[in-house]
């Protein structure tokens, strides 16, 4: 399963036009994103933080397959959040269910950076080192 939710009307999302970096903490893994390579897969909105992570072997849980129907892909965008599309109401509703929800929380399958800033993204502790099946 993957892609976007067919029941949701997505606004147009600005795509990056230049390379930018995403640092995933606490591991501190830095990835350089080349817009020419996006999207890396078909999970979540094209070019979303989850897509970038998966494209670089970084595991973020994503129980619904990236269609904004769960909150397991919750991340905290510590730097560069203004370069991401704005969270829609349905995303904010889902985030209400996420443990440790903060002002900078996003569903990584819905947050698409436009490349105008480098990002620092925290993967919450409860979302790391989970026993996973079928990945
Ligand atoms: S993977 Fe389910 S909301 Fe992002």
pLDDT of 106-117, one tens digit each?
Answer: 999 999 999 999
**From the alpha carbon of 65, which atom of ligand 1 is closest?**
1
pLDDT top residue among 131 and 42: 42
CA distance 88 to 74: 14
pLDDT digits (tens, 9 = 90+) for 79-97: 999 999 999 999 999 999 8
Angle at 123 between CA 119 and CA 63, to 5 degrees: 115
Model confidence at 23: pLDDT above 70: yes
State whether the beta carbon of 68 lies less than 6 angstroms from ligand 1.
yes
State whether the beta carbon of 109 lies less than 6 angstroms from ligand 1.
yes
Query: Residue 110 Cα, ligand 1 centroid: separation in angstroms?
Result: 8
Model confidence at 9: pLDDT above 60: yes
pLDDT for residue 131: 45
Q: Which of 1-5, 36-40, 101-105 has the lowest mean pLDDT?
A: 1-5
Closest Cα to residue 48, out of 101, 3, 130, 110?
A: 110
Model confidence at 130: pLDDT above 70: no
CB 112 within 8 A of CB 84: yes
CA distance 34 to 56: 12
pLDDT for residue 133: 44
Query: Residue 59 Cα, ligand 1 centroid: separation in angstroms?
Result: 13
Closest Cα to residue 1, out of 69, 87, 103?
A: 69
DSSP summary character for residue 15: P
State whether the beta carbon of 25 lies less than 6 angstroms from ligand 1.
no
Mean pLDDT of 20-46: 96
Residues 6+ apart with CB under 8 A from 23: 29, 30, 79, 118, 119, 120, 121
């Amino acid at each position: 399963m993957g892609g976007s939710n067919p029941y949701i009307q997505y606004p147009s999302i600005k795509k990056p036009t230049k390379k930018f970096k995403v640092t995933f903490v606490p591991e501190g893994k830095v990835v350089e994103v080349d817009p020419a390579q996006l999207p890396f897969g078909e999970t979540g909105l094209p070019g979303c933080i989850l897509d970038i992570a998966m494209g670089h072997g970084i595991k973020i849980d994503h129980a619904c397959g990236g269609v904004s129907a769960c909150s397991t892909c919750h991340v905290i965008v510590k730097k560069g959040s203004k370069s991401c599309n704005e969270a829609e109401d349905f995303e904010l509703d889902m985030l209400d269910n996420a443990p440790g929800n903060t002002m900078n929380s996003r569903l990584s399958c819905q947050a698409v950076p436009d490349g105008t800033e480098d990002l620092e993204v925290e993967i919450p502790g409860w979302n790391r080192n989970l026993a996973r099946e079928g990945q």
